A and B are shown apart, each in its own frame.
Chain A
Amino acid sequence: MTRILLVDDDSCAVQSLQALLEMDGYEVRATMSSVEALELLGRERFDVVVTDLEMPRVHGVEVVRAAIAASPATRVYVVSAYQGSAVCKQAVAAGAERAFTKPLDYDKLVACLPAA
């Protein structure tokens, strides 16, 4: 089963996205703390990471770098309120496959994911 890590400090968004992905058959681990995300990436393996960018303490770009460093095969997607911003470009440069803009088009995200 495809394992997905969701990282977003917005509890409503992260829970709803988790619910949708679980309905589609994915195994989802969600966290609202980017610090916890780094810990999870250090000890667990994920096929996909979907992370917000603007978060306190550890920025989403750092999460992208940590995910790629932990497993280069991991697909990383970032979600940001700032379309085409410098941080989105930084995230893609750090290894993210694609940057999505909030509000997220869920169908577009699922189209990028491997089968559950």
Chain B
Amino acid sequence: MHERLSLRVRFALFFGLIAATIPVVIGIALYLAAQRLDDNPTSQLVLFGGVASFALVGIVAWVAQLFDTHVAAPIVTVGRDLQTLMHANPEHEIHEDDTRYLGILGPTVKEASESMRRLREDVDAKVVEATKSLEEQRLRLETVLRDLNEGVIVCNLDHQVLLYNQQALASLVYDGDLGLGRSIFSVVNRPPFLNTLERLNNRFSSGRYKNHPDGLLVPFVFSTTDGQHVLQGKMSLVVDEEKGQAQSYVLTFSDATKRISSLAKRDRLLRVVVEDFRRPLANLRTSADLLTSSVSVPAEMRDKFESIIAEECAALSDRLEEVTDEYRSIATSTWPMSDVNSANLLSCLTRRYREHPVLRCDVSGEAIWLHCDSNTIVELMDRLVRRALEATGAQVFTVEAASGENRRYLDIVWTGDAIPDGTVQTWLEEEIDHGAGRMTGNDILQHHRSDVWSERIDQGRARLRMPMPDPVVEHTELVNGAPPVRLEFYDFDLLQRGSQSGDLAQRRLRDLTYVVFDTETTGLEPSNGDEMISIAGVRIVNGRVLTGESFDRLINPGRSIPARSTEVHHISEDMVADQPPVEQILPRFRDYVGDSVLVAHNAAFDLRFIELKQELTGVKLDNPVLDTVLLSAIVHDHTDQHTLDAVAERFAIEIPAEKRHTALGDSLATAYVFLKMIDLLEANGITTLEQAQKASEQLVQIRRTQARY
């Protein structure tokens, strides 16, 4: 019944209780003192007065405790709940238990939170509607960038990456880490960039770019930091004409390593043919001339010259075989070609026949990757399909890509007889209408070092078969399956932001770059031989968790993994048996972290493992650190529940069960928790890194003091 009392009545009762108690206690004390006044009035009055005072203090303390439990603490809890609701989790529930003694305040706060939630939903819906077309354009841009065969990177003038596409990632990531907000120089060598940028800046500042045939674009060659890959590309400067200043630069590039190495090989082969073949040919010619000339050659010498001819012929044949083998290994011609998904190529082809009155042509089979010039190949296949329609009388064709034992093919299949090779050759000698020039089918095939033939296959069917070169890059994604994971691969807000240098402590929390990390270990005691078996991290740049730029590695701990530990993180000894040891992984992790601020849930635990390996690995992480356990205790001081699960639940962050207790899963959960915390920290007046660190240190001091008592 007392839960139904209003807050005012409750306040009145608290003070009424105190007020009523005072005269009662004093009255009893005076009465008892009066009973003993005859003996020693002063001491009796002191005794009963003292007892009465202690009784009053006790009663006031009891009432204060009741007041704290029923009023003060619930008000603080409701306050924190409201903060969470406003800044971090609009779905956050305000529990009735917390407000049951607060009278009308409880239902009112609940009602206010409901209407705020509805209001926010309305606003969100309107924002979604308003940004729909923007989002569509963004998706189109993403698709274009993703499907480009060239690598694209945009950097600001501090060389921080603002945008990259998947091809750039595939072409560049050998030694360093490519990521938003990171320096481009973590993956490529610096000098060619600086030189090229300087040339462009000079061209721009002098105004020469207006008359220059290339405008603000310069072709250049650069290499990856490991020195193993040569890339050929173009840099163009993005400028603000009104302000007269450069803003950023755009790189488009492709991996030229194979092409350049092929050219070098080809040069060498040419030299071999020109120089090495002269010697045996000279021997041959001299001997043959002598034998066929009018000079009288004795029989003994004739035998010698004949054996010289036989030897030199054999040597020339052998050398030719060697040169031929080497020539075959050189990548195909210099004709521009790229890796192409057969599904895309063949659908471009079949689209041409949609309106055709008789011809039906469908794509069948699995999609595979090929290396070709898709435009000319589609033109050639189109020519072949149309000629096959005329020659065979078949009207239904299927086109498919196939992988053989050593080769990949493009096939045109129909029911009927094979076409004579002579006929196919006539088709290949025809010119093909194509923008690239008056090419014949044979020219196109020559560029691909290929040929076409017709042969019978099963069930009365025949095909035209065209071998295609293998893709240059290994494409692992399922081309017929789910679309590739969407990466957060651009952030133009970084254009307005400098690099993460200068006084980090004074910078706003939401402007900093973080690496949120977690480890899985064999146990909880690093000093007693427990080791790391997994380490993962995710980056937060400009307030976004970059799921596509995560670090996730298993580590061979060089010791057994207790079964009870495997039960938690599901990492078994078999899984780590072939993994690199910690001395290989931690340096890579340090490179990944760079100058970011480190964040972890109970950071001291994970850092202790890394610290103990400092001597072995040479890795010392002296980056600033924030601990989400401490930050949670700051923003949610009304509770002592600060486990990752509890904090994530308060912020309505779902951690899939299979991801929980994996280093990457926990890193991601901590990252999302941390982003929510930044809002709450700001609501509590903590906006800079220094303030967050100080507040954390104070909390640690308080806890230490409490622990002492």
State whether these chains interact: no
A residues at B contact (CB < 8 Å): none
Residues of B within 8 A of A (CB): none
